[in-house]
Every structure is written in C-alpha cells, then in structure tokens.
Structure 1
Amino acid sequence: MFWKLTALSSSSPVGLKFSLSDNHRVSWFRVESVLDKENFTLEELLDEEEIIQECKALNSRLINFLRDRAQVEQLLQYIIEEPQEDADSKRTFKFPFVACEIFTCEIDVILKTLVEEEELMNLLFSFLEPNRPHSALLAGYFSKVVVCLMLRKTIPLMNYVKAHQDVFKQLVDLIGITSIMEVLVRLVGADDHLYPNSLDVMQWLADSNLLEMIVDKLNTSNPPEVHANAAETLCSITRNAPSPLATKLSSPSFVARIFGHALEDSHSKSALVHSLSVCISLLDPKRSTPSPVMYSFRSQHVYESPINVDPDTVGAMLPKLGELLMLLNVSSNENILPTTYGQLRPPLGKHRLKIVEFLAVLLKTGNEAAEKELMSSGTIHRVLDLFFEYSYNNALHHHVESIIYSCLESKRNVVVDHLLLDCNLIEKILQTEKNPTLSGVLNQPTLPTSGRQAPRAGYFGHLTRISNKLIQLGNSDNRIQTRLQENNEWSEWQTTVLQERNIVENVYRWACGYGIILSGQTYMTRLEFLHAKAIDLLYLRTL
C-alpha cells in the first residue's frame, strides 16, 4: 500500500520519521496487548478505541476470537438488551455501539456464526418481542445488523424469516420506530436486486399477510408516526413496481381498504393525509416522499406528461370520492390562525392540501370516469375558488395550477368547457387583475390586518403562467381560442398587461443577475422568492 512507502513518510518537528502506517501499528499493538493476556474479556477488547480499525484490517487473532459463538452471543446481548438503570456509560452507550459496528464491518466468519445458529438468530430477533422495551438507540443498532444480514447473508436470513413468520407481525407492530420501518422497507423489496431470486421472494411476500398488516396500520386508532411510517413503507412498494407486492397493493380491494382508513371519522387527520399519500403514490409511483406538507420549488413538475395507470386502480377510488370532496368545505371550521399579513379563518390545513394534491394527480391520469365525477360534484370549481381564497398558499396554488393544465389538455371538449365556462376561469383572471390586493370580505378565509393597507395577493406568478398556457394552447386548439375571443376584455388585457409583464419577468434580459428560475418556467426576483419561501415556512410551521 502507498502509505508503507518510505518516500511518503512525513517528518515530525523534532526530526523523527513517522510513516502513515504508524497509527495502525499503535492500534495493532494495543489490541494485541489485550489478546496476549491469559484471561482477557470481551469487555476489555470493546473498551479499546482501535478495535473497529483492527476488525476492518482483518486482524486474524481478533477475528478468530470474535467469531466464537460465545462472543457473538455477548455482542448480540449488548445490542438487544437494555442496560440496568445503574449501568455505567460504557455499558449503556459504548459497548452497544462497538458491538453493532463489529457486525456491520461485514466480516464473513462472524456473520456466518450468527446466521448458522438458530438460537443466535432467535436472540437477535427477540428484540422485537412486545414485552421488551424498544429504545430508539437499540432499535437503530438492531436495524443496522439486520440490514447488514440482508446485504451479506440474504438467503440464510430469508430462510429464517420464512420459518418464523411471526417476525412480520412483530416488525409491523413496531413500524412507528423509524429504524424498524427501514428494515421493513428493505424486506418488502425496495432493493429487490439484492435478492438472488427476487421474483420468488417477492411472490412469497405477496402471498403472506404482510401487506394487510401494514395497510391496517393506517387505522385512525394509531398515532401519526405509525401512519407516516406505514405510508412510507407502502409507497416504497409502489416505487418498486412492477412487482407482485405492488400489483397486490394496487388491486381494487386494497385501494378500497386504504380509502376506508382515510375516511374514518377522527379528529386527527393524520390517517387521511398519509392514506392519500399512498393513493397518490399508486397513481404516480415516481412522485417524491409522502411527507404531508413537504413542498419545494424544485419539485414542481408543472408540465408533466399524463400518467399511465391501471383503470381498475382509479375506478376503486371513485366510489368514496364524494365523501372526500366534502372535506374541502371550510365553512364549519372555526379555527383562526394569525399571520404576518392578517388572519386565516380557518387555515386550509394539511388534510385539505393533501386532498387537492390527490385530485391533481388523479386528473393527470386522464381517466374519463374521474373527470366526470369531479365535474359533476363541482370539485374543480371548488378547488379553483380555494386558489383565490387562500392568496398566499403557494403549495395549494401549485396543485390547482396542475389541475387547470390537466383540464386544458384533456382530450374531451366537455372538460375544457367546464373549466372555461362553468368555472369561468378567464373572467376570474381578469377580475383579480382589477383587484390585485387582498380582499377584506368577511366571508373569505384570508383577511388582511385591519388598519393597514391590504397587501398584494400572492398568486399572480401562477396566474401569469396559466394565462400564457391558455394562449399557447389556444394557438393550436380552436376550442380554447374561441373561448378567449368570446371575452372582449381578454385581448386588450393580453396586449396591455400580460405582454408587458412577460417582458419585465424575462430574466434572460436582466443584467443584474438577481433572477431565479424555478421549475424551468417560473420567474421571480430574489426578493419575491424569499418572500414566498417565508410564507411557506410560516404556513408549514403553523398547520
């Protein structure tokens, strides 16, 4: 190795030569000094700071000692057993950490001792027993060891799990612990290329009741962290499609079960939000992680192509759609949220934002039955009203903008006419241009601070893009062109206001370099960007 070459050694200030391998020699001597003792203990080795370095260096004497069954068992006990209350810091923190690191050094003979002894495997997975404490610290160590076995001892591990299927239930019961959830995500095949016979393994998992148990964790009786981790596990399955598990999850029976949990009566909307995240991922597996309020300008894919999805999956979502749409009504909500610009009476809420996101993804599928349901129920009209009612909710504006594009690009004339005529989109755009400041109407949920000048509404960047999209599509679509020409004010507004605004917002003409390009099409000044992000952060923190 290069660090053993004399030419690469460095000089100390007092003229002594030290090669780059001296540190290794020191660690070797310290570990060897323990191994040279007649009655040394495992604890003495674990207390040596250099033991992990020596394991990675494949110190044969050390590895031959650690591979012994008794030592592997003791290492496992440090990982799975909570220390006594009066235990010192080494027993509480250092020894469990070092024990975990020894296993994750992926030394074959040590892992072989573990997987070939069923009693040792039983000891490892006894951590999952319901009558034991499950601290986040030890859960993390347990997870790292199991994932290491999945990577390096896949077949023996899967054979053990097949023979002990109670492990499934125990893992799912602890899914609220993120480290345990990560084990489940690996188990259900998020990295199925690790399995030598991935199709057989995935089919076996699909034939088990694992999926049913995970979906049932979306029940409203469970806490939010369980909902979040169950949803993440299910979304990881959809992202791994096509697979037997993903096919089973997208079947009508499972979609109906997920919707059933979403619409269970509960004061907490966590089950609704995370169940819809799973439904969104079923419709669009490439969509990002199902965090209920995570929103980033970088994740705006406004001009996405239509999504190809199984019609049976969409059809299973439609029977309960009416109940879901009723939740968009804010009139019965009396919550008040003070903001920097006034008050929200009430705030939109995470669950309504997630519903609108779901509707945006649903419309992208181009499913005719879904379009009919959303038109007949007045949902498209309602979400368009929400766009203007919540003037500073950029995440909402993004999803509604996506809904508008899906309608405009629909192959069915009735959808385009519904948006432009029934929902009166063109007139709404022109009216907001006449009254650009925040309205003080009492029946609106967004109210400006009394006694101060009402601020300008925060959706004009979106309206500019929507207007440009209307013109762009109108050049190739006679339906849209006709609707634009029917409005006498549109032509004048387009030439006097919109064209000038497009010139001003064209960042490629700016010499100062303060323009920010978002999503490839959105243009903002840096000040507008920071203001929008500040509003987003306030919104996310107070939901």
Structure 2
Amino acid sequence: MFWKLPSLSASCPVESILDKENFTLEELLDEEEIIQECKALNSRLINFLRDRAQVEQLLRYVVEEPPEDADSKRVFKFPFIACEVFTCEIDVILKTLAEDEELMNLLFSFLRPNRPHSAFLAGYFSKVFICLMLRKSVQLMNYIQVHQDVFHQLVDLIGITSIMEVLVRLVGADDHVYPNCLDVMQWLANSNLLEMIVDKLSSSCPPEVHANAAETLCAITRNVPSALATKLSSPSFVARIFGHALEDSHSKSGLVHSLSVCISLLDPKRSAIASPLMYSFRNQQMYEPPIPINPETINAMLPKLGDLLTLLNVLSDENFLPTTYGELRPPLGKHRLKIVEFIAVLFRTGNEAAEKELISSGTIQRVIDLFFEYPYNNALHHHVESIILSCLESKNDAIVDHLLQECDLIRKLIQTDKHPFLSGDNNQPTLPAAGKHAPRAGNIGHITRISNKLVQLGGSNSCIQTHLQGNSEWNEWQANVLQERNAVENVYRWACGRPTALQDRISDEDDLRDRDYDVAILANTLSQAFGYKWNDDNKEDNGTLDRDDEVSDYDFF
C-alpha cells in the first residue's frame, strides 16, 4: 500500500517565482529556500543569478550602505543573502565577477576612504574576497597587481577585524591558495605592503589598529619560510618595530603589540597559542624542536634591551590599583609583563650574545626582583620561572654564578618561603590593607618548583652543586622543609581511591616511557572484544580494515 504525500510533490517556492513572466531579484532574495537551491545547483536559478546585471546588484547589496529610509529587508536580509549566494562558491557566478573589471572595481569600492565602512558590511566584503581568493585566485591576484592602491586601502582599514582577516589571507599566512605561491609571496615582499603594516604599530594609531597589525605580522612569521617572513626578520625591520615600541606615549598598546611581533619572530609557534601555560605544556610534552633563529634578528634586538629595562622600573610610576588584599603602587601593567615575556623567549633561543647582554644590563636581576615584589601575579611568576630555568640549564657557568651569587636567588627563595605574607614595607609596590591579613604569597608553588630544579640540576652541574653545598641555610631548609613538602604534595601517595603502595603506583609518564606493549597482542584483544576477526592477510573478513588501522599502545590514554 502506498501513502499519498502531496507535500513531496509540491513545487519549490523558488521554482514558483522562476515560473513567473516578470520577477525580480528581490523576490528571490526574500525567499527562504534560495540558498538551499543554490547549493543544490538549481540550473534555472543559477542561470538567472549568473547574469551580469544580477551579479552587479548582489554586489551592491554587499558593499553599499542602504538608504536611510530603507526597510529592514534592504538593511539586513538582502545583504546577508547576497553574501551567502557568493559564498556558495558557484563557479559561473564567481567567474562573472572575477572576469569583469568593472564588477571588481565595484567590489573594491568598499575600501575607498571617502565612504563609510561599517563592520556589518566589512564582514560581507571579507567573505566575498576570501571566496574569490579560494576559487579565483589567479584573476584576483592579477587584478590586485594592476591596482596596487588596494594594499594601501586595506592597511588603512586594518583596525576592522574583518579587513585584518583579508590581509592575513592575502599574505598567504593561513593557506597556500595561490597556484604560484612562491612567486606571489616574492611579489608581495617586493611591494611596500610590509612597511605599511609595521607603521601601523606607531603610537599615533589606536589600540585596535595595533592589535590587528600585530596579528597580521605574527601570521606572517608563522608562514616560515617565505619571502615576507624573511623580510620581516631582517635587522632593518626589527629596528623599525622596536622604534615604534619605544615611542613615548601614554598608552602602552604600541609597546605591548610590537613586543608580541618580536616574540613571534623569536618563536613563531608561540603566537598561535593563546595561553603561555599551554605553550609550556606543549614544549614539555610534545618535545618540539626549536626553530633556528637568524642571529642577525637577535643582534638587532639587543641594543634595545637597556631601554626596555628602564621601563621595568616601577619607582617613577604613580598609578595605583586597589585589590582585595590591599593595594598595588603601581600595578605591574601589561607592558611590563610583556617585556618579561619577551626576555623569557629571548633567553630560550640560547644565543650567547643575548645571554651576555642580559647579564651586563642587569636585566636578570631586575626580573627576579619583580618576581618577589609582585607575589600575586602568577603570569609574571610563570615567565620569571622560565628565565630562571633557562639560566640554570645554560652551559655558561657565568650565568649560573650571576643568578645564584649576584642575584642572591637562593636566599630570596628561602626568605620568601619562611615569610610568605606581605610585610607592609612602603618601599614595595604590593601593600596590604590596614588591619587586614593578606593571603599567603602566590609564588610559593613556583618557588618549590625552582628549588626542586636546583636540587635536580645540582647532581649534574658542578657549579650549581658548589653554590648549594656551601650554603648551610639552604641545606637546612631543603632537609626540613622542601623534602617534607614534596612528600606531602606527592599525589601518588594520597589515599583517595588510588593505590597507595609505591609498587602499585601507575603514572602516565612511566606508562609512556617504560612500558613495552605488544601491539599485536593489544590488537588481538580488541578484535576479540569487539568481534573483529582477522584473516591471514591481516585484514578483516569483510575487507574494511587494513593493518594501518590497528590500535597503538598510545590510544589507551
């Protein structure tokens, strides 16, 4: 018995419009199913939309501001649907646009400086541009090569995030979409595009422009190797970036974002990770080899370390920030935190000239002082701990001597651990509230890790061992405090539903490093558990799985 379903045989509303003798583009754009029909490649609909007049009208919805007296459909719905039609990536519609210079002029007329640039339409322009870059990259690049004023217009609007995304795609930082990528990258490097973007880090620009310009430049550094990335890492451009960073300005936005670019030049992968803690985790667990950095890039940064060190001085800063425990006079600030982060990344490059400059300029001593002056700034503690570990793991004994002797690190660690509460000293930037008991210092966990690292490296580094053995206060504190704390904080000994016996303890590191699983036995166990049967050819009976699909020992974690 067959059921009669009239709704399935009913004609599509779009087809009903197309059946009319006289219909308009607006009628189609007002129909809810038009995008679905475009994706289904409705031939009648596409043949209508591919016409030049219709493509031009769709473009006008995308790039032109609606009249003041326009209804809501003209303001919101039609621009959105028009943009979606283009992003359906129908080849014949994009071909009509890309091969007609007047239509391309209409599209890029959105960038002209004498007209409004709403973020609303900028998003639609960005989507159409990126769609052309993906599907009609040759025609698009040919147009831009002829009309190089597009570069200047895009950079002038870089404060709009959607335009910044266009620039990121244009420099090839996300996808190598160009058929002749190397030639295009070289052509972009020969243009003045990079100079224009770097100059947007100037103190005369607003913070949103600084942020988007830095994001674009960081995207270029991630595209190593490329002609643009090589040009950006040259000494002349590094000096240019630092020149903008150190411009005298009340706002430190230019400094913060310029240093973000410098950090990305030293470690391109870092700029792609939002959290520095996640970056540290990846470095420790994934064992990613460092990318070699051009020594000329580092050498161009070293002359500016003295100016950065001056900015780390908090005595001349009269700002203050009330907190739950008291007051910061002054607060550390984003710019000082970014300077410390830059120093930490610079140290990890292992450049000898950088290490010597960081010692002679007093930079290491200053950042260690900040570690204890701001006991509740965990982001600062993370970066300073990285600097200390880089010093301890250095093969240069002069750095270790400077850290443990001139910077007096061991004494400061012990004293802070013994007296973990604010002293109320007015000479310190972190002050407790009157009559209020401040919480325990927030850097005690970092102090414990640094101390354990000292003990660990003392067994293999004679220089560290000499400093530790000659310090009676350290020996007493290590024996009475540090060892007991490590025992208490050893989670594998906690009786909370896990085996407490040492021989029954199972750690992930031991599993990954020491255990030798037999992959064939594991695969056989799984095949029995899930009903898979393997024949002599190491394939399933139904032939759907081959040997490459076996489960490895790491799939259990």
User: Helix, strand or coil: the match of 1:119?
Assistant: helix
Contact 1:192 1:198 in 2 (8 A): no
Q: Check if 1:236 corresponds to 2:236.
A: no
Partner of 2:487: 503
Distance 1:380 1:415 in 2: 9
- Partner letter of residue 196 of structure 2? M
**For residues 173 and 182 of structure 1, what CA distance do their matches in structure 2 show?**
14
CA shift at 1:203, angstroms? 0.6
Contact 1:309 1:365 survives alignment (8 Å): yes
Does 2:140 correspond to 1:160?
no
Shift of 1:300: 3.1
In the alignment, which residue of structure 2 is the partner of 1:146? 129
1:307–1:364 CA contact under 8 A, matched in 2: no
Separation in 2 of the partners of 1:46 and 1:468?
67
Pair 1:399–1:18, CA change in 2 (3 A): farther
Out of 196, 200, 207, the position equivalent to 2:190 is 207
CA positional deviation for 1:319: 1.4
Q: Which runs of 4+ in 1 moved over 2 A?
A: 15-19, 294-308, 507-514
**Which residue identity does 1:147 align to in structure 2?**
I
Contact 2:320 2:327 in 1 (8 A): yes
Question: In the alignment, is residue 490 of structure 1 matched against residue 474 of structure 2?
Answer: yes
CA displacement at 1:509 relative to structure 2: 2.7
Q: Which amino acid aligns with 1:352?
A: R
Q: Which 5+ residue runs of structure 1 have no aligned equivalent?
A: 1-5, 8-14, 515-519, 522-543
| Partner-residue secondary structure (3-state), 1:447 | strand
Residue equivalent to 1:172: 155
Map 1:28-427 onto structure 2 (within 5 A).
Answer: 29-289=12-272, 295=275, 297-301=277-281, 303=284, 308-427=292-411
* TM-score, structure 1 as length reference: 0.88
1:512 Cα deviation from its structure 2 partner: 3.7
In structure 2, the partner of 1:477 is 461
Alignment partners' CA distance in 2, 1:364 and 1:195: 35
Quote the Cα distance in structure 1 between the aligned partners of 2:488 and 2:141. Answer: 62
Amino acid of the structure 1 residue aligned with 2:218: C
**Which whole-Å deviations, capped at 9, do the CAs of 1:306-365 have from their partners, x for residues lacking one?**
663111000001112211110000101111111111111110000000000000011111
Q: 1:99 to 1:215 in 2, by over 3 A?
A: same
Q: Deviations over 1:34-55 (max 9, x none)?
A: 1111110000000000000000
Q: For 2:49 and 2:308, locate their aligned partners in 1 and report how far apart those are by CA, in whole Å.
A: 58
Q: Per-residue displacement from partner, 1:2-50 (whole Å, max 9, x unpaired)? A: xxxx99xxxxxxx87589xx4xx76x62001111111100000000000
Write out per-residue CA displacement over residues 191-238 of structure 1, whole angstroms, 9 at most, x where no aligned residue. 342111111110111011100000010011000000000000000000
Unmatched segments (≥5 aa) in structure 2: 499-507, 510-557
Contact between 1:360 and 1:400, CA under 8 Å: does it hold in 2?
A: yes
Is the 1:341–1:448 contact (alpha carbons within 8 Å) kept by the matching residues of 2?
Answer: yes
Q: Distance in 1 between matches of 2:385 and 2:194?
A: 35
Deviation at 1:510, TM superposition (A): 2.9
CA RMSD of aligned residues (A): 2.0
> What TM-score does the superposition give when structure 2 sets the normalisation length?
0.86
- Give, in angstroms, the shift of residue 381 of structure 1: 0.5
Preserved CA contact (<8 Å) 1:231 1:278: yes
- Residues of 1 paired with 2:491 and 2:315: CA distance? 41
Contact 1:439 1:454 in 2 (8 A): no
- Number of paired residues? 496
* Cα-to-partner distance string for 1:403-448 (whole Å, 9 max, x where unaligned): 0011111121111110010001111111112211122111111111
Residue 219 of structure 1: SS of its match in structure 2?
Answer: coil
For 1:478, give the aligned amino acid. Answer: S
**Residue aligned with 1:392, SS:** coil
Shift of 1:511: 4.1
Sort the Cα spacing of 1:513 and 1:103 in 2 relative to 1 into closer, same or farther, 3 A: farther
- For residue 449 of structure 1, the aligned residue among 413, 425, 433 is 433
Q: Is the 8 A contact 1:248 1:254 kept in 2?
A: yes
Query: Amino acid of the residue matched to residue 117 of structure 1?
Result: D
Distance 1:191 1:457 in 2: 43
For residues 493 and 18 of structure 1, what CA distance do their matches in structure 2 show?
86
Whether contact under 8 Å (2:321, 2:331) holds in the other structure is: yes
Structure with the greater relative contact order (CA < 8 A, sep ≥ 6): 1 or 2? 1
The 8 Å contact of residues 325 and 437 in structure 2, kept in 1 or not, is answered as: no
Q: How far apart, in 2, do the equivalents of 1:343 and 1:162 lie?
A: 56
**CA separation in 1, counterparts of 2:449 and 2:410?**
13
SS in 2 for 1:318: helix
Q: Following the alignment from structure 1 to structure 2, what is the Cα–Cα distance between the partners of residues 408 and 104?
A: 54
Tell me the distance in 2 between the aligned counterparts of 1:175 and 1:439. 48
For 2:259, the aligned partner's letter is L
> For the Cα contact (< 8 Å) 1:300–1:398, is it kept in 2?
no
